[in-house]
């Protein structure tokens, strides 16, 4: 088979860890893009006259040296400035020229490296020379670290899947209790570690159906989610960092200045985390290997001592001073962990084989015994003679067979002594390396099993999500139509933004609720998260486009990693109305509250109230009570829970967890209990000198006076309650805050909320654009509407808006197509049915509550007529075929749909 070729350079090309690994292990050759090589060949860069020193650490393996050369080649190609073609060609020749002993390369100094590189290629350094630009790349690019990191990335990625597969086998081989392992699932409270949850879910799939697990408790098994989850996280960090590092150039300005130079510290931090998780992974695997070995009475004491010693040395890796030496040692550590996993895998296969052999022998014994009992004509209980059948999990059965096929193909079917077991281990060590062509097939099959998720017979919705049936969709459509009409009535323009944003856009905007933001896996070099709300994306859009005035609405889904409960979901719609820009004092605030009351009135959900407060009044109140400014936001978060918890509970949190004195907490309690009609409570607060003397609360009271007078004039102030306990925990609020609460019997909590956020847009741009907005939590409103529909026998909802059913009695689809198409062309909502049975047509019209039927039977067809049936009046009339559209429209004008 021809060797693959990896081309470096060229438009849109990028270097990957897998490419580096392939070239470094001699699986691929390297080629420089011809256009890039031509450009470098024409470079007029002069040679450097600097005197370079020699340092001689020659400890890298041949593979590590080759990986370093691949990365250096790419650095030269993408940097280009001050780079000739000579060194890239030398590197390419060294990589493609065969199994050169590249361990002789000196990566400790520029001169040492260049001198040894030239010697490997049979050249003299004095003849090749070096430019200032090439020296800068050699000194500043950390290419050797990046090269080894690419090897670590590729090796550890495959090792993660191998570790899961092998561990699932040893769980069965040791008859381990896996309940703690497979039940480490997402708690839904936002505090679960995602990688640990993912590991537990994968093991649940692999072990589904197993009758071997569940007996013996073992820490080495129960800690698998934590250990393997931590390793997965470290692997992802290495991959993300390496991906950027491999394709980062050294930018050299015309004056020789450097930019975009990335040192090794970031890489060291990342790989040190990988080293620690590798050690834990190896220790955990070694414990399970010993557990299985004891079950099979196999003595691996000397091997355990050797591998354990290597792991202990790995614990001190972070103390290494020489970065290159550190990376080299971590690469060796990967090989040690791979060997440990090979021991665990070989022992697990041995143990499971042994169980199956004993089962087969037992079955032969049972058959023999049964024959004897029949001869003696006795009634012995044959069931008691049978042993429990060895049944592996659906996933582990496949994994075991894949490993057995590999081991048997290399010779040796049954383990007869320790020497054969060691041979198995050696072969699995080779198999578990990414350069083994069979490993890809193994990893793919394990991945397919995990992703198929056969642990459930039926599919299941993720927690906190819902499907919506046809009647529910009809309710939603009706509600959205009302909401959009109100928004447009106030002059708002529609906006849509992506379902996910850069993670940095969302972080730091939601206070303690930031833990509920859904992070996405890195699929393109950017850390992204699903949007938590529609306000921050709106602020980002306004800032990004330099907008200074915008009245917008948006109806879209948002996502929160919340704990699902009644009325709380992880995916739900929000309906937002926002006004950004400079306007008259409290004008936008008034209109937003007015829009909110119009929405809730026209949705006709029943009684509700809009609780309203002012963030500056709240801050002033906390200042008056003696709360330090740095604790304002965290105390606001506590106060915001008063609608769900008693003040005594909140007081305990403020005192014991957040460091307030009991006296300060009691002062807060006295004030936050104040609520009532807006103008009355405002009048009371204006008489309190401590509020008037505080700058923040004084300004807030003036704002609220203007707002309440406008709400009174607009005849909606009766819907508003001035409530000093309302805090709204989101960090971006700066002024008026409000929250609508349903007052009916259905307990759904807050149904809408919002407030002023004058500084949020400025966080994304150079201009501070003040803004205020409201968000309707439509899912809770839907819950109320659905329950009202269920409880009111006189109400019903149509799942469709169909106005006419074209009923063809017979089998003539062509006639149905012709007649229905005419009605569709006339913009009449139509369905058709072709069936011989009259009852089918009637049932369809009644079930869907379709008001008109256009019936065509043999008699109507011959007379070139149709029969129009009014389902509500239960009347029929024959009309000419040519006047169907006119007659249907006339009748629809008199029907209430």
Q: Tens digits of per-residue pLDDT, 814-840?
A: 999 999 999 999 999 999 999 999 999
Per the listing, tokens 């002789």 go with 104
Mean pLDDT of 396-400: 91
Which of 39, 114, 144 shows the shortest CA–CA distance to 83? 39
Tokens 């009309």 correspond to what residue? 879
Tell me: the pLDDT tens digits for 647-662? 888 888 888 888 888 8
Between 250 and 196, name the one with better pLDDT: 196
Using alpha carbons, select from 81, 82, 115, 95 the residue that is nearest to residue 32. Answer: 95
Q: Percent of the chain scored above 90 by pLDDT?
A: 41
690-705 residue pLDDT tens: 888 888 899 999 999 9
CATH superfamily, domain 470-605+760-797, is Bira Bifunctional Protein; Domain 2 (3.30.930.10)
Burial environment of residue 22 by CB neighbours within 10 A (0 to 12, 13 to 18, 19 or more): buried
**Top-confidence range, 92-106, 286-300, 498-512, 819-833:** 819-833
Please tell me the predicted confidence (pLDDT) of residue 548.
92
Average of per-residue pLDDT values in the chain: 84
Q: Is 656 left (phi over 0), alpha (psi -120 to 50) or beta?
A: alpha
Distance CA 519, CA 761 (A): 22
For 145-195, the three-class secondary structure string (H helix, E strand, C coil) is HHHHHHHHHHHHHHHHHHHHHHHHHHHHHCCECCHHHHCCCCCCCCCCCHH
pLDDT in tens, 124-162: 888 888 888 888 888 888 898 999 999 999 999 999 999
Whether the Cβ atoms of residue 692 and residue 701 lie closer than 8 Å to each other: yes
CATH 1.10.274.10 fits domain 804-896: no
Lowest mean pLDDT among 93-102, 626-635, 726-735: 93-102
CB 103 within 8 A of CB 65: yes
For residue 262, which of 272, 254, 273, 251 has the smallest C-alpha distance?
251
Evaluate if residue 348 carries a pLDDT over 50. Answer: yes
Please write the tens of the pLDDT for every residue from 745-798.
666 678 899 999 998 998 888 789 999 999 998 888 888 887 777 666 555 677
Rounded CA-CA distance 455/43 in Å is 62
pLDDT, position 386: 46
Between CA 514 and CA 212 the distance in angstroms is 42
If one compares 54 and 570, the residue with the highest pLDDT of the two is: 570
pLDDT at 389: 66
Across 210-214, 311-315, 456-460, least confident range? 456-460
Burial of 74 (0-12, 13-18, 19+ CB in 10 A): buried
Does the pLDDT value for residue 629 go beyond 80?
Answer: yes
Taking Cα atoms as reference points, which of 387, 391, 400 lies closest to residue 212?
Answer: 391
What is the structure's pLDDT at 377? 52
CATH class (in words) of the domain with range 607-743 = alpha beta
Residue 486 confidence class, pLDDT cut points 50, 70, 90: very high
* Residue where the block lists tokens 């550890």: 156
Q: How many CB atoms lie within 10 A of CB 290?
A: 20
Using one digit for the tens of pLDDT, what is the confidence trace for 577-613? 999 999 999 999 999 999 999 999 999 888 899 999 9
Helices (H), 498-646: 503-506, 535-544, 587-603, 615-625, 632-639
Average pLDDT over residues 669-697: 89
Compute the radius of gyration of the chain from its Cα atoms.
37
Reported as a pLDDT band with limits 50, 70 and 90, residue 373 is very low
pLDDT confidence of 371, banded at 50, 70, 90?
Answer: very low
Tokens representing residue 338 in the block: 């791979």
608-614 and 736-742 beta bridge pairing: antiparallel
Instruction: Give the pLDDT band (50/70/90) at residue 413.
Output: very low
How far apart CA 473 and CA 494 sit, in angstroms, is 22
pLDDT at 122: 87
629 is written with which tokens? 């400014």
What per-residue confidence (pLDDT) applies to 794? Answer: 56
DSSP state at residue 694: S
CA 534/CA 335 separation, integer angstroms: 48
Rounded to an integer, what distance in angstroms lies between the CA atom of residue 501 and that of residue 160? 29
Q: Are strands 608-614 and 571-580 parallel, antiparallel or unpaired?
A: unpaired
Burial pattern 492-529, b for ≥16 Cβ within 10 A else e, equals beebeeeebbebebbbebbbbbbebbbeeeeeeeeebb
- CATH fold, domain 153-353, is Fumarase C; Chain A, domain 2 (1.20.200)
Q: What share of the chain is helix, strand, coil (3-state, %, to 5)?
A: 55, 10, 35
What is the pLDDT averaged over residues 854-880? 93
Q: Which residues pair with 834 in a beta bridge?
A: 808
Higher pLDDT, 277 or 371: 277
Burial of residue 675, with CB atoms counted within 10 A of its CB: 0-12 exposed, 13-18 middle, 19 or more buried: middle
Across the range 182-196, mean pLDDT stands at 62
pLDDT at 886 over 90: yes
Q: Which residues pair with 869 in a beta bridge?
A: 853, 876
d(CA 626, CA 623): 5
Domain ranges of the chain: 4-141, 153-353, 470-605+760-797, 607-743, 804-896
Tell me whether domains 470-605+760-797 and 804-896 share a fold: no
Mean pLDDT of 171-189: 74
pLDDT in tens, 449-465: 888 765 455 567 888 88
Q: Is the pLDDT of residue 897 over 70?
A: no
User: Which helix (H) or strand (E) segment is 120 a member of?
Assistant: helix 110-120
Residue-wise pLDDT tens digits, 39-69:
888 777 777 666 555 455 567 888 999 999 9
Where does residue 693 rank: exposed (0-12), middle (13-18), buried (19+ CB within 10 A)?
exposed
CB half-sphere exposure, 200, CA atoms < 13 A: 20
Distance (Å, whole) CA 561 – CA 517:
6
């Amino acid at each position: 088979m021809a060797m693959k070729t990896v081309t470096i350079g060229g438009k849109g090309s990028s270097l990957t860890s897998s490419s580096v690994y392939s070239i470094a292990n001699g699986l691929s050759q390297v080629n420089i893009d011809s256009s890039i090589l031509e450009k470098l060949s024409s470079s007029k860069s002069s040679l450097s006259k600097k005197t370079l020193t020699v340092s001689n650490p020659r400890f890298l393996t041949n593979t590590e040296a080759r990986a370093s050369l691949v990365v250096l080649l790419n650095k030269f190609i993408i940097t280009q400035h001050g780079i000739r073609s000579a060194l890239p060609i030398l590197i390419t020749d060294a990589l493609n020229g065969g199994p050169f002993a590249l361990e002789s390369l000196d990566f400790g100094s520029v001169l040492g490296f260049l001198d040894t590189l030239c010697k490997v290629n049979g050249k003299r350094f004095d003849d090749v020379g070096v430019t200032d630009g090439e020296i800068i790349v050699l000194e500043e690019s950390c290419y050797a670290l990046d090269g080894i990191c690419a090897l670590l990335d590729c090796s550890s990625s495959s090792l993660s899947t191998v570790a899961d597969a092998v561990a699932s086998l040893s769980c069965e081989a040791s008859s381990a209790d896996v309940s703690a392992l497979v039940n480490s699932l997402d708690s839904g409270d936002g505090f679960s570690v995602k990688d640990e949850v993912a590991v537990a879910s994968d093991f649940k799939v692999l072990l589904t159906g197993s009758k071997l697990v569940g007996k013996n408790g073992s820490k080495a098994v129960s800690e698998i989610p934590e250990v393997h989850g931590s390793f997965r996280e470290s692997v992802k960090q290495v991959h993300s960092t390496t991906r950027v590092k491999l394709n980062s150039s050294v930018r050299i300005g015309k004056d020789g200045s450097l930019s975009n130079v990335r040192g090794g510290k970031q890489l060291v931090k990342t790989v040190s985390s990988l080293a620690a998780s590798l050690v834990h992974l190896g220790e955990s695997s070694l414990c399970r290997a010993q557990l299985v070995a004891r079950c099979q009475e196999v003595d691996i004491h000397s091997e355990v001592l050797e591998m354990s010693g290597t792991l202990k040395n790995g614990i001190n890796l972070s103390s290494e001073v020489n970065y290159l030496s550190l990376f080299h040692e971590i690469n060796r550590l990967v090989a040690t962990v791979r060997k440990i996993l090979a021991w665990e895998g070989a022992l697990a296969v041995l143990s499971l084989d042994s169980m199956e052999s004993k089962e087969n022998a037992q079955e032969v014994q049972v058959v023999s015994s049964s024959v004897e009992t029949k001869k003696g004509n006795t009634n012995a209980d044959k069931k008691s003679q049978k042993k429990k059948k060895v049944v592996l999990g659906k996933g582990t059965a496949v994994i075991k067979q894949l490993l057995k096929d590999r081991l048997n193909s290399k010779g040796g079917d049954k383990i007869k002594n320790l020497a054969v077991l060691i041979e198995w281990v050696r072969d699995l060590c080779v198999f578990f390396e990414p350069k083994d062509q069979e490993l890809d097939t193994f990893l793919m099959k394990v991945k397919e099993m995990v992703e198929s998720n056969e642990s459930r017979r039926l599919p299941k919705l993720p927690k906190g999500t819902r499907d919506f049936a046809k009647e529910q969709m009809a309710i939603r459509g009706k509600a959205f139509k009302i909401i959009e009409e109100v928004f447009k009535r106030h002059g708002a323009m529609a906006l849509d933004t992506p379902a996910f944003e850069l993670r940095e856009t969302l972080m730091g905007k939601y206070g303690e609720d930031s833990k509920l933001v859904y992070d996405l896996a890195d699929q393109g070099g950017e850390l992204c998260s699903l949007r938590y709300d529609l306000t921050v994306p709106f602020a980002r859009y306004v800032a990004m486009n330099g907008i200074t005035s915008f009245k917008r609405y948006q109806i879209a889904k948002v996502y929160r990693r919340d704990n699902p409960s009644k009325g709380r979901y992880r995916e739900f719609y929000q309906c937002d109305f926002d006004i950004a820009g400079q306007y008259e004092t409290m004008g936008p605030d008034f209109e937003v509250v007015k829009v909110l009351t119009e929405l809730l009135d026209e949705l006709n959900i029943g009684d509700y109230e809009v609780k309203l407060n002012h963030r500056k009044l709240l801050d002033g109140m906390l200042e008056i009570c003696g709360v330090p400014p740095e604790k304002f936001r965290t105390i606001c978060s506590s106060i915001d829970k008063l609608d769900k918890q008693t003040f005594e509970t909140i007081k305990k949190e403020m005192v014991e967890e957040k460091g307030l004195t009991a006296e300060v907490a009691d002062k807060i309690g006295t004030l936050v209990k104040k609520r009532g009609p807006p103008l009355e409570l405002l009048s009371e607060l204006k008489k309190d000198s401590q509020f008037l003397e505080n700058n923040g609360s004084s300004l807030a009271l003036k704002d609220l006076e203007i707002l309440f007078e406008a709400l009174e004039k607009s005849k909606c102030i009766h819907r508003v309650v001035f409530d000093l306990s309302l805090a709204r925990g989101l960090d971006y609020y700066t002024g008026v805050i409000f929250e609508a609460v349903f007052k009916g019997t259905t307990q759904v909590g807050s149904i809408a909320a919002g407030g002023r956020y004058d500084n949020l847009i400025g966080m994304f741009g150079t201009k501070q654009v003040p803004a205020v907005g409201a968000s309707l939590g439509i899912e809770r409103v839907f819950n109320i509407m659905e329950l009202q529909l269920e409880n009111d026998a006189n109400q019903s909802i149509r799942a469709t808006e169909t106005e006419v059913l074209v009923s063809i009695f017979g089998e003539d689809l062509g006639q149905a197509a012709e007649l229905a198409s005419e009605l569709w062309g006339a913009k009449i909502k139509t369905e058709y049915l072709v069936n011989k049975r009259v009852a089918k047509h009637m049932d369809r019209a009644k079930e869907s509550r379709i008001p008109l039927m256009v019936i065509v039977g043999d008699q109507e067809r011959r007379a070139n007529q149709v029969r129009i049936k009014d389902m509500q009046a239960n009347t029929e009339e024959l009309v000419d075929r040519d006047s169907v559209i006119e007659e249907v429209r006339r009748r629809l004008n008199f029907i209430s749909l």
